[in-house]
């Protein structure tokens, strides 16, 4: 059976690092996996002290102390030095091999956890990134969704009213331009929001209802006719073009695709649109226009911010249209491709008519042959019974000592075999008592009379035991004594047949020891399930690791088929048979997949099945080593999610900086035209001019928000560079207070500035202005109608900016205020405890300083910013 | 006649800048990139009293244009003011030895700049 597999071989080759350490810390033996883990040859490792391979001396001492005391180790973490100098993190489990109460050696099983340590630290970093991403995404969506749209809406509404009231043609033109640039800005904001939804928040939501693609396309083509009058358009529609889609999203796709064609299509080739609804389950739309997309752009045609990556391909706006189109098509489970042929560009969109329900993931496996033609294995032939003595007697007389004893045990006859085995010649043996073959102990314990007594009573005596040769050496003898009787049934003597089985005995003894060692070791391994299957797949042995991982006890599982460890779909797919078949055919099968515990729960397992053969080449069973990788699998999945989050961070940062730059384009038009409008109107209608002035403030606010967007992105990307120069903080504070005079009187706030002259240091002047502006702005917002104190002074080598208001003060837990700086919720109070203070803190920290908030004695909130006067390294 | 050359790739901004200047007594000439601007300047037309220059443009961007213009003795003396949405505009302005107006720009700032360069030259 499987137990016959040579355990030495097994231990040597098992994919688990194992070593034995003597009481003094010398490595007695190590298997291949142990050596491979560290990269040493046996000579470089075995016979050396473990201290040579440990990175931490204290750990070696501790391990040696524990091992010498016979204390078992479980997942004791140590750092090993590999031959190439690498540090491997290893979890060591061990138990002591004691003999006569003395430690002979310690059996150590190692587990290389370097990778998981590395992943762990990587993971921690990524968790922080993820948190940052979520936080900034929230901020960002909030800025776009509310803060930018609101002033924009105010501008649009006010301008629409104005258009009805002004008569001056130049004012009319300016108002129209305000509207068109507002519209452009609104579209940009929508695109940015879509982008953030698609890329950062995990997909665009769809509102499906019955829709007709042909109608959507025809409507969108009207836009093209408007944008590019006179450009010929050909449209052909075939079959049923209805399906369950989000029609406004698809209209967006059409508008983007047709708009792209209108922008790039050459005049000589008409825009060709074909909609094919002849297939039952899907609809295909192709769109061809003249002018091929340059080959260097084609591969990234759907990438976000495409235009930015190719200098001469600058598209108007953000370069997000095709990216968003692709996202929308994907959200519909469809496909969109771009192709260039004969200097014509073709976009192909395929849409399933209805949502496709994805089939559950099926088990993938190599095609297997039907097993009928390839029987798994022949049953093991039953072990040969006791040798047929008579038959072999005839055959191999040299191999057996065969001789006769008289009734008293004296040797009567002798043969060649007897001489070979015992060393006595015939003349030396005959006539002597057969006790000469026995050990001292056997003689002392009366073994000879016992043997003869048994032979007399039962006819024969059979045993295996140690005997003594002429030269005093011992041999392992298989002995058969047969009583010989005369016709009166009286014992007249004995026939004795002896076989020398020393060699076999030695091997068996070694095997027995090894097996015991192996069994103890395997049984004590907790990190791996190591067990045997018979050729049919029934569990034949079990270890502690198997019990720990699979939760079955040995009693419960031995004899049962190993398919109990597999999910039902795997069993139905024939995975169990396939695995054994592959292992039997190629010697080994390795797999990672879901397995079941006793309670039915799943774990992610690495499984290695090794076919075991006896010396005749007969398959005797399989060795199976299973590792529970659930944790690793979870880490991997988590890593994947985190990597995606990281990508989102990167894109978001890129996006924020492009977005804020790009948003300024319509904003520039907006402001100039609003100014023009105001100037034109002022001459005829002062009250109208006032209204426009209010609109202008909304546009100022937009500008400020877009700048903030850029600041946030700089903080996030770490591009928050400081331009340090000698700065007099008091002077800066004085400038800011002057500049904020108007805003302060608007908020009925009196600013009391108490500025110690010449508080000097090396700081970024613009950023420090921002800190003071934001702190004062915050105070005015929360404590309108009361006075605000601003103090600037030295505290040894630290400059302090203090702003104290007389508003409602901070909530009880002022630390919570700091946490709120970065929370999305704070965005609703933009300018309050939102981005303004977030930026203050970032600036302070970038300067090596900090910001704190507390409730002032006598009411109100007090913010203190501390800045080191000198840049510290 | 005070001619201002507006070098700007965005058609809306280009038109708006031109209109704002024209409404206030200047004559504006538009170019949508550096190459077009150089073509105008070297085409024997009226020398502008001021060039308003965007930085990010296709074909030839603002930096490349400024370099060309400074290296051309006949053009080097024309004042250039960079109008851009770049945040680190001061840095660019220093590098290109020009004044700068950050986008979005206010009308009075624009007209002040035009007055400074064109009216004094008159």
More confident residue, B47 or A69: B47
Contact assessment for residue B89 and residue B100, using Cβ atoms and an 8 Å cutoff:
yes
Q: Is A673 part of the contact surface with chain B (CB cutoff 8 Å)?
A: yes
Residue of A nearest to B104 (CA): A668
Residue of B nearest to A699 (CA): B104
Both tokens of residue A439?
Answer: 């050990």
Q: Does domain A526-630 have CATH number 3.30.450.20?
A: yes
Per-residue model confidence (pLDDT) at position A671: 84
Q: Which of A190-199, A336-345, A819-828 has the highest mean pLDDT?
A: A336-345
* Mean pLDDT on A519-542: 79
Statement: residue A821 has pLDDT above 60? no
Q: Which of A668, A675, A679 sits opposite B103 (nearest CB)?
A: A668
* CA distances to A416, A461, A506, A513, A842 from A476, in Å: 18, 16, 9, 17, 85
Q: Is B99 part of the contact surface with chain A (CB cutoff 8 Å)?
A: no
Both tokens of residue A751?
Answer: 């600013």
Q: Is B19 part of the contact surface with chain A (CB cutoff 8 Å)?
A: yes
Q: Which residues contact A872 (CB under 8 A, 6 or more apart)?
A: A848
**Interval A238-250: pLDDT, tens:** 999 999 998 888 9
Q: Do A389-506 and A723-868 show the same overall fold?
A: no
Q: Is A184 part of the contact surface with chain B (CB cutoff 8 Å)?
A: yes
What is the residue extent of each domain of chain A?
2-112, 209-352, 389-506, 526-630, 723-868
Statement: residue A213 has pLDDT above 90? yes
Interface test with B, best of A177, A314, A672 (most B CBs within 10 A): A672
* Mean pLDDT on A383-390: 37
Cβ under 8 Å to B: A residues 704-723: 707, 710
pLDDT-derived band at A109 (thresholds 50, 70, 90) equals: confident
Contact call for A311 and B58, based on CB within 8 A: yes
Longest distance between any two alpha carbons in chain A, whole Å: 155
Chain Cα centroid distance, residue A478: 62
DSSP of A226-243, one letter per residue? HHSTT--EEEEEEE--EE
**Interval A226-240: pLDDT, tens:** 888 889 999 999 999
Q: Using CA atoms, how far apart are residues A522 and A520, in angstroms rounded to an integer?
A: 6
The matching CATH number, chosen from 3.40.50.300, 1.10.260.40, 3.30.565.10, 3.40.800.20, for A209-352 is: 3.30.565.10
Per-residue model confidence (pLDDT) at position B36: 93
Q: Which of A498-502, A519-523, A615-619 has the highest mean pLDDT?
A: A498-502
Residue of A nearest to B13 (CA): A669
Statement: residue A488 has pLDDT above 90? no
CATH assignment, B3-121: 3.40.50.2300
Q: Is B4 part of the contact surface with chain A (CB cutoff 8 Å)?
A: no
* Mean pLDDT on A653-660: 67
Per-residue model confidence (pLDDT) at position A308: 47
Per-residue model confidence (pLDDT) at position B84: 87
**Interval A266-322: pLDDT, tens:** 888 999 999 999 998 899 999 999 888 888 778 778 876 655 444 444 455 567 788
Statement: residue A814 has pLDDT above 80? no
Shortest Cα distance from A696 to chain B (angstroms)?
10
Q: Closest Cα partner for B50 from B23, B30, B78?
A: B78
* Unique residue bearing structure tokens 């930026």: A839
Per-residue model confidence (pLDDT) at position A388: 40
Shortest Cα distance from B87 to chain A (angstroms)?
8
Q: Is B16 part of the contact surface with chain A (CB cutoff 8 Å)?
A: yes
**Interval A121-131: pLDDT, tens:** 766 665 565 55
How many CA atoms lie less than 13 Å away from A562 in the CB half-sphere? Answer: 31
Per-residue model confidence (pLDDT) at position B35: 93
**Interval A590-640: pLDDT, tens:** 888 889 999 988 888 888 888 887 767 788 888 888 888 877 777 777 777
pLDDT-derived band at B52 (thresholds 50, 70, 90) equals: very high
> pTM for this one?
0.47
What's the complex ipTM?
0.79
Average pLDDT, chain B: 88
Q: Closest Cα partner for A777 from A766, A788, A767?
A: A788
Domain A2-112, what fold?
Beta-Lactamase (3.30.450)
pLDDT-derived band at A647 (thresholds 50, 70, 90) equals: low
Q: Helices (H), strands (E): how many in chain B? A: 6, 5
Least confident of A254-263, A329-338, A597-606, B89-98: B89-98
**Interval A795-806: pLDDT, tens:** 888 999 999 988
* Mean pLDDT on B71-75: 91
Domain A723-868, what fold?
Heat Shock Protein 90 (3.30.565)
Interface test with A, best of B25, B35, B62, B85 (most A CBs within 10 A): B85
Average pLDDT, chain A: 78
Per-residue model confidence (pLDDT) at position A517: 62
Task: Using CB atoms within 10 Å of the CB of residue B35, give its burial: 0 to 12 exposed, 13 to 18 middle, 19+ buried.
Answer: middle
Per-residue model confidence (pLDDT) at position A367: 37
Q: Does domain A389-506 have CATH number 3.40.640.10?
A: no
Shortest Cα distance from A240 to chain B (angstroms)?
42
Q: Is B25 part of the contact surface with chain A (CB cutoff 8 Å)?
A: no
């Amino acid at each position: 059976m499987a137990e016959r597999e040579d355990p030495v071989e097994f231990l040597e080759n098992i994919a688990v690092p194992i070593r034995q350490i003597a009481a003094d810390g010398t490595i007695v033996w190590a298997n291949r996996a142990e050596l491979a883990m560290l990269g040493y040859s046996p000579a470089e490792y075995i016979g050396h002290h473990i201290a040579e391979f440990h990175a931490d001396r204290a750990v070696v001492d501790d391990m040696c102390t524990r091992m010498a005391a016979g204390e078992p180790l479980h997942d004791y973490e140590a750092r090993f030095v590999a031959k190439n100098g690498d540090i491997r993190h290893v979890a060591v489990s061990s138990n002591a091999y004691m003999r006569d109460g003395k430690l002979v050696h310690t059996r150590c099983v190692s587990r290389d956890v370097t990778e998981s340590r590395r992943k762990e630290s990587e993971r921690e970093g990524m968790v922080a990134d993820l948190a940052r991403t979520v936080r900034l995404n929230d901020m960002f969506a909030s800025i776009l969704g509310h803060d930018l749209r609101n002033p924009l809406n105010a501008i649009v509404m006010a301008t629409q009213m104005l258009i009805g009231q002004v008569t001056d043609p130049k004012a009319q033109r300016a108002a129209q331009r305000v509207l068109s640039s507002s519209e452009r800005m609104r579209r940009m904001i929508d695109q940015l929001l879509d982008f953030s939804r698609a890329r950062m928040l995990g997909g665009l939501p769809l509102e499906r209802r019955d829709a007709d693609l042909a109608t959507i396309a025809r409507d969108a083509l009207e836009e093209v006719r408007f944008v590019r009058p006179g450009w010929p358009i050909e449209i052909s529609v075939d079959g049923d073009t209805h399906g369950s889609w989000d029609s406004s999203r698809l209209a967006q796709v059409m508008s983007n695709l047709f708009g792209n064609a209108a922008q790039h299509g050459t005049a000589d080739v008409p825009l060709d649109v074909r909609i094919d609804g002849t297939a039952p389950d899907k609809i295909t739309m192709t769109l061809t226009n003249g002018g091929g997309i340059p080959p260097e752009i084609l591969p990234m045609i759907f990438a976000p911010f495409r235009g930015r990556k190719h200098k001469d391909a600058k598209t108007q706006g953000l370069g997000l249209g095709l990216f968003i189109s692709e996202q929308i098509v994907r959200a519909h489970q469809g496909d969109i491709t771009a192709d260039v042929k004969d200097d014509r560009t073709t976009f192909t969109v395929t849409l399933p008519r209805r949502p496709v329900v994805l089939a559950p993931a099926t088990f993938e496996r190599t095609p297997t042959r039907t097993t009928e033609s390839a029987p798994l294995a022949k049953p093991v032939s039953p072990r040969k019974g006791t040798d047929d003595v008579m038959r072999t007697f005839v055959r191999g007389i040299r191999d057996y000592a065969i001789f006769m004893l008289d009734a008293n045990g004296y040797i009567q006859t002798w043969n060649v075999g007897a001489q070979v085995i015992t060393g006595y010649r015939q003349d030396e043996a005959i006539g002597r008592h057969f006790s000469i073959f026995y050990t001292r102990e056997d003689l002392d314990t009366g073994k000879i009379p016992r043997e003869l007594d048994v032979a007399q009573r039962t006819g024969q005596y059979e045993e295996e035991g140690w005997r003594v040769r002429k030269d005093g050496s011992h041999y392992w003898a298989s002995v058969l004594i047969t009583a010989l009787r005369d016709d009166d049934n009286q014992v007249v003597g004995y026939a004795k047949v002896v076989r020398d089985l020393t060699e076999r005995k030695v091997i068996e003894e070694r095997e027995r020891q090894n097996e015991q060692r192996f069994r103890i070791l395997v049984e004590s391994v907790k990190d791996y399930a190591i067990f045997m299957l018979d050729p049919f797949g029934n569990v034949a042995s079990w270890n502690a690791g198997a019990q720990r991982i699979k939760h079955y006890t040995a009693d419960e599982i031995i004899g049962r088929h190993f398919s109990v460890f597999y999910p039902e779909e795997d069993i139905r797919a024939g995975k169990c048979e396939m695995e054994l078949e592959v292992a039997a055919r190629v010697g080994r099968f390795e797999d990672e997949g879901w397995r079941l515990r006793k309670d039915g729960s799943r774990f992610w397992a690495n499984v290695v099945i090794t076919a075991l053969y006896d010396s005749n080449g007969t398959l005797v069973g399989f060795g199976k080593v299973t590792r529970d990788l659930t944790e690793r699998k979870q880490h991997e999945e988590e890593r994947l999610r985190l990597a995606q989050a990281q990508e989102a961070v990167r894109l978001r940062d890129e996006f924020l900086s492009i977005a804020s730059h790009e948003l300024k384009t319509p904003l520039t038009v907006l402001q100039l035209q609003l100014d023009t409008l105001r100037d034109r109107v002022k001459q005829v209608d002062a009250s109208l001019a006032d209204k426009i002035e209010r609109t202008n403030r909304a546009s100022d606010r937009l500008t400020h928000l877009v700048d903030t967007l850029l600041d946030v992105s700089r903080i996030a990307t770490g591009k928050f560079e400081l331009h340090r120069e000698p700065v007099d903080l008091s002077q800066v504070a004085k400038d800011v207070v002057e500049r904020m005079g108007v805003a302060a009187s608007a908020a009925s706030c009196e600013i009391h500035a108490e500025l110690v002259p010449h508080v000097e240091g090396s700081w970024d002047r613009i950023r420090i202005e921002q800190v003071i502006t934001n702190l004062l702005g915050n105070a005015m917002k929360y404590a309108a109608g009361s006075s605000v104190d601003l103090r600037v002074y030295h505290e040894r080598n630290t400059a302090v900016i203090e702003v104290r208001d007389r508003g409602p003060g901070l909530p009880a837990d002022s630390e919570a205020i700091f946490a709120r700086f970065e929370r999305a919720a704070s965005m609703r109070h933009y300018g309050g405890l939102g981005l303004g203070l977030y930026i203050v803190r970032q600036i302070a920290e970038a300067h090596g300083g900090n910001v704190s908030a507390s409730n002032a004695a006598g009411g109100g909130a007090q913010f203190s910013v501390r800045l080191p006067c000198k840049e510290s390294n | 006649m005070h001619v201002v050359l507006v070098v700007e790739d965005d058609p809306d901004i280009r038109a708006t800048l031109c209109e704002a200047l024209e409404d206030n007594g200047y004559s504006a000439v538009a170019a949508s990139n550096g190459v077009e601007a150089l073509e105008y300047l070297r085409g024997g037309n009226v020398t502008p009293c001021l060039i308003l220059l965007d930085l990010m443009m296709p074909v030839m961007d603002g930096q490349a244009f400024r370099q060309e213009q400074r290296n051309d003795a006949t053009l080097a003396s024309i004042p250039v003011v960079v109008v851009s949405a770049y945040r680190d505009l001061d840095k660019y302005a220093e590098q290109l030895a020009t004044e700068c107006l950050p986008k979005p720009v206010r009308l009075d700032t624009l007209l002040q700049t035009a007055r400074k360069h064109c009216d004094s030259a008159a």
